[in-house]
Amino acid sequence: MSIYDLIVIGGGPGGYVAAIRAAQLGMKVACVEGRGALGGTCLNVGCIPSKALLTSSAKYAELAHLSSHGIAVEGASVDLSAMMGRKDKIVGDLTKGIGFLFKKNGVELIEGWASIPADGQVKVGDDVYEAKNILIATGSEPTPLNGIEIDEQDILSSTGAIALDAVPEHLVVVGAGVIGLELGQVWARLGAKVTVVEYLDRVLPGIDGEIAKLAQRALSKRGLKFQLGRALKTIDKTNTGLTLTLDRVGKDKEEVIEADKVLIAVGRRPVTRGLGLEELGIALDPRGFVQVDGSFRTSVPGIYAIGDCIPGPMLAHKAEEDGVACVEMLAGEAGHVDYNTVPGVVYTDPEVASVGLTEEALKETETEYSVGKFAFMANSRARSTGETDGAVKVLADPNGKILGAHICGAHGGDLIAELVLAMTKGATVAEVAATCHAHPAIGEAVKEACLDALGRAIHA
């Protein structure tokens, strides 16, 4: 059997992109995937199917708000199985597309679950493959909670919550993070009562607090109920549904709520078990993440790791950047990922988008900074589309260099790209403000926020 230059374990966005890039660089590459489809969590049960459902549910929800445009819609209804069918087709087409990309680039697909029995070896079923380098790109899985068993029927992870066959009457979402808010909004739009239970006294931990507050307010207006400062303790199955016992955090008090479905979305953990990593002496941190150096090298020579299974934001695009940088370094090139400019987007309505440091982080490190803000209410394009909730917030150092940017608002996920580019290129708020922005456009809010940081916003 021939020796591969690289075997990638995991065919998600980190792994498949790394495999293709390595093949482009002339390596003999195989990628091992066990789930029966390429694309990992993101394409199969994460980013892509959730965005398909977010889009479908948004179209339905919009029908109820067209009267101010002089449009009456009567008798609109949801065919959930057709909606799910559309989602499944999108997923199927995209995952098959990666198979074509593998063929085009000469990446060999090995189907099955891999382990690493020894340095330079990958075992799949009864077969052992030899490789000069091994890349672990095994991703992450939902974190379990208090021994609560996810049955994907009534007690759901995100995987079950994108595959329901009926709209729940009352969905309780545990965790006001990215998954909880996105999928909570899908089902709220389709007619479910949705209550979001969150341990902290705020939503979207990690996002700038002021922007998270705007998001909570906007989502409340759109029907989501929030129960903050509450931790889920137990779930009991009864004849009529589910009974949840919640702890009021810091109050020595319990509360009980009833639901017919519960989505547990309290974070994700790395998939690093069952691969033989401990036996090989590969160092993991206390939370199970593979420890790597700046070149993605694990503690065992010839074995590398990228994406959700190493520390850092658990985001598909970060995993892709990791993967490309890792194999470029393997090929002797200068791979690099700038973790300060990795954007994050929550695809709710309004969207929440963020890059760089939050105001809380700047205060904590006593960094000197200026703030510029601009509310979409004052943007004429947002007024004409009726998307006036939220604001753009930029944080800059005393020289005007952008340290962080945070948006709650329609198209925030697209608008953030301008600020990511500005940060990547070291541009100042003055330089963004001096850039001509089309009128009327939502993006003018970015320019105005930068002007505000200089104390000279025009429309606020």
Residues that bind ligand NAI (CB under 6 A): 145, 174-180, 182, 197-200, 205, 231-232, 265-268, 314-315, 344-347
CA distances from 130 to 42, 133, 157, 353, 393 (A): 29, 9, 36, 43, 51
CA distances from 337 to 18, 29, 39, 323, 420 (A): 14, 22, 21, 10, 13
- Tell me how far apart the alpha carbons of residues 87 and 403 are, in angstroms, rounded to a whole number: 37
Which residue type, as a one-letter code, is found at position 327? V
Q: Which is nearer to ligand NAI, 116 or 259 (CB)?
A: 259
Q: Which is nearer to ligand NAI, 60 or 199 (CB)?
A: 199
Cβ contact 123:115 at 8 Å:
yes
Q: Which is nearer to ligand NAI, 23 or 266 (CB)?
A: 266
Cβ contact 208:393 at 8 Å:
yes
Long-range contacts of 327-336 (CB under 8 A, 24+ apart): 327/6, 327/18, 327/21, 327/22, 327/25, 327/27, 327/135, 328/21, 328/25, 329/295, 329/296, 330/6, 330/22, 330/25, 330/27, 330/133, 330/304, 331/22, 331/25, 331/26, 331/27, 333/25, 335/295
In this chain, which residue has its C-beta nearest to ligand NAI?
Answer: 177
The answer to whether 439 is a known catalytic residue is yes
Please state the closest distance from residue 265 (CB atom) to ligand NAI, in A. 4
Cβ contact 155:149 at 8 Å:
yes
Q: What pairs with residue 409 in β-bridges?
A: 351
Q: Which is nearer to ligand NAI, 109 or 417 (CB)?
A: 417
- Tell me how far apart the alpha carbons of residues 72 and 342 are, in angstroms, rounded to a whole number: 42
Look up residue 262 and give its two tokens: 């519960």
Marked catalytic residue, from 170, 317, 336, 439: 439
Please state the closest distance from residue 214 (CB atom) to ligand NAI, in A. 17
234 CB contacts (<8 Å, ≥6 apart)?
Answer: 146, 148, 244, 245
Q: Which is nearer to ligand NAI, 205 or 223 (CB)?
A: 205
Which residue type, as a one-letter code, is found at position 308? D
Please state the closest distance from residue 237 (CB atom) to ligand NAI, in A. 19
Please state the closest distance from residue 234 (CB atom) to ligand NAI, in A. 11
Q: Which is nearer to ligand NAI, 108 or 154 (CB)?
A: 154
Catalytic (active-site) positions: 439
